[in-house]
């Protein structure tokens, strides 16, 4: 007997803002956005417990999601627009919305095991790729390239639950903007209209008040936009791979003990936080599982409130600056001292950026000075932040059972967020080869025993 297909597409459609609610508009990219042009798309996946039939899914759930998404796009029009790239570094790319532009929506059902996918144990990365949407293909015009920026896939696991997968280009929005968008969409879906959100929420701030022409010019030149007119298509994830993903939890108790130990050993270290000790501990563990020379660890900082003058929290787009540290792997491998080194480097670099009297933008620029130490063999990035509570996003079915950042599979990034059960606990998503994951998890859990 033939096996059932893993995924069956039930419908493919396009969702636009309600007719005549959004004028034709464009939003120029700033250097904050332009810096992300060469990067892969971002993929997020939310699982919800919802034991329903296919009939209820098609007749009730999908129409409500479409209707609420349409209303959301009325207020967040760039998600329905396209990036317009011109074949010259003298003209900035822009996100352009024209009447009728839309978001590609895929509706499907799936035979994969819902409870397996939503666990914390090692799970095959390949399985998740069925649940995230592909972005529509870019289109080449006579004087520009048109690149869709956002897509959605809703997948039913009959009598178990559903998943909502989203793909967007990072140049469209950082995590803060994406969270505002999802807060609006979930509110509209849960309440049936935008009245409650408009009364209590915050609409996006579209004014392009970030004005650094020289940085715009420099970043645009480095982005090599002329190559976008030579057959550009977005990257995507596909199997087979040998990678597995694991979710690790650091409880508040463990985090406090890590912070206390770092503060005791380094009493003059100016910045010790839950974030820096969690990242520092992870960094030291991954170093112990690899035999390379030099490692780079980086994350981004939301700098809306740190601009001069400060930007509104609802500023639309990207407004983050990088914080990067490098170390020889040998310095990170030495037991507790390796963790201490990692936490010290991250704390010092973060404190320097946050307290610079000249502002956060001053240090944005080439990595030449940092890379003078050599080219790192391992580059680890952090996707997400515990400050944004993605587990609060309720479409009307309760909180998500699980949130996964699938795009960490492109490289050695990790995801970091507040836990569902307690926002004081941290959830770390890791994607590694099956062999390396086994060694890493043993090092991670075994190392914590020294602090308990």
Please identify which of the residues 49, 242, 394, 412 carries the catalytic annotation.
394
> Whose CA is closest to 68, among 105, 41, 32?
105
Please name the helix (run of DSSP H) or strand (run of DSSP E) that holds residue 262, with its range, or none.
helix 252-265
| 8 A C-beta contact, residue 366 and residue 282 | no
Read off φ and ψ for residue 20, nearest 5 degrees: 60, 25
CA 83, 84, 89, 91 torsion-angle sign: negative
**CA atoms of 413 and 376, how far apart (whole Å):** 14
Residue 161: partners with Cβ closer than 8 Å, 6 or more residues away:
47, 48, 49, 50, 51, 114, 118, 401
How many residues are there in the chain?
452
- Is 130 one of the catalytic residues? no
- For residue 362, the 8-state DSSP code is T
- For residue 205, the 8-state DSSP code is B
Please identify which of the residues 109, 170, 216, 403 carries the catalytic annotation.
170
Torsion of CA 33, 35, 39, 41, to 10 degrees: -10
Q: Say if strands 123-124 and 139-140 run parallel, antiparallel, or are unpaired.
A: unpaired
- Is 170 one of the catalytic residues? yes
| 8 A C-beta contact, residue 280 and residue 346 | yes
CA 57, 60, 61, 65 torsion-angle sign: positive
- How many CB atoms lie under 10 A from the CB of residue 126? 17
Residue keyed to tokens 């039939």: 53
**CA atoms of 127 and 151, how far apart (whole Å):** 19
**CA atoms of 176 and 284, how far apart (whole Å):** 28
- For residue 308, the 8-state DSSP code is S
> So which residues are the catalytic ones?
170, 394
């Amino acid at each position: 007997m033939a096996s059932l297909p893993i995924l069956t597409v039930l419908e493919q459609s396009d969702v636009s803002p309600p007719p005549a609610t959004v004028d034709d508009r464009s939003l120029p990219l700033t250097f904050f956005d332009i810096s992300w042009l060469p990067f892969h798309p971002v993929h997020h996946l939310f699982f919800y417990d919802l034991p329903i039939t296919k009939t209820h899914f098609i007749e009730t759930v999908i129409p409500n999601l479409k209707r609420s998404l349409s209303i959301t796009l009325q207020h967040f029009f760039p998600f329905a627009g396209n990036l317009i790239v011109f074949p010259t570094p003298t003209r900035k790319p822009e996100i352009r919305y024209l009447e009728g532009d839309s978001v590609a929506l895929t509706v499907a059902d799936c035979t994969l095991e819902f409870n397996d996918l939503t666990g914390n144990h090692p799970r095959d990365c390949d399985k998740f790729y069925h649940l995230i949407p592909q972005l529509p293909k870019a289109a080449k015009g006579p004087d520009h390239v048109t690149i869709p920026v956002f897509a959605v896939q809703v997948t039913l696991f009959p009598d178990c639950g559903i998943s909502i997968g989203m793909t967007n280009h990072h140049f469209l929005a950082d995590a803060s903007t994406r969270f505002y968008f999802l807060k609006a969409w979930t509110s509209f879906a849960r309440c049936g209209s935008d009245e409650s959100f408009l009364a209590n929420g915050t609409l996006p701030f579209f004014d392009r008040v970030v004005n650094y022409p020289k940085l715009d010019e420099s970043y645009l030149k480095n982005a090599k936009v002329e190559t976008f007119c030579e057959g550009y298509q977005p990257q995507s994830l596909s199997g087979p791979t040998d990678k597995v993903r694991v979710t690790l939890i650091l409880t508040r108790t463990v985090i406090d003990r890590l912070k206390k130990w770092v503060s005791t050993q380094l009493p003059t270290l100016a910045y010790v936080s839950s974030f820096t000790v969690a990242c520092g501990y992870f960094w030291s563990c991954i170093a112990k599982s690899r035999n390379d020379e030099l490692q780079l660890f980086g994350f981004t900082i939301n700098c809306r409130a740190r601009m001069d003058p400060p930007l509104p929290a609802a500023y639309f787009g990207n407004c983050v600056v990088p914080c990067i540290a490098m170390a020889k792997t040998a310095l990170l491998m030495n037991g507790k001292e390796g963790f201490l080194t990692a936490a010290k480097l991250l704390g010092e670099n973060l404190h320097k950026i946050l307290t610079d009297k000249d502002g956060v933008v001053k240090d944005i620029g080439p990595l030449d000075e940092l890379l003078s130490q050599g080219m790192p063999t391992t580059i680890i990035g952090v996707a997400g932040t515990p400050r944004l509570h993605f587990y609060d996003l309720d479409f009307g079915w309760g909180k998500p059972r699980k949130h996964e950042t699938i795009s960490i599979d492109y490289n050695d990034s990790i995801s970091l967020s507040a836990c569902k059960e307690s926002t004081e606990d941290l959830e770390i998503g890791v994607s590694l080869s099956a062999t390396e994951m086994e060694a890493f998890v043993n090092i991670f859990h075994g190392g914590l025993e020294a602090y308990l």
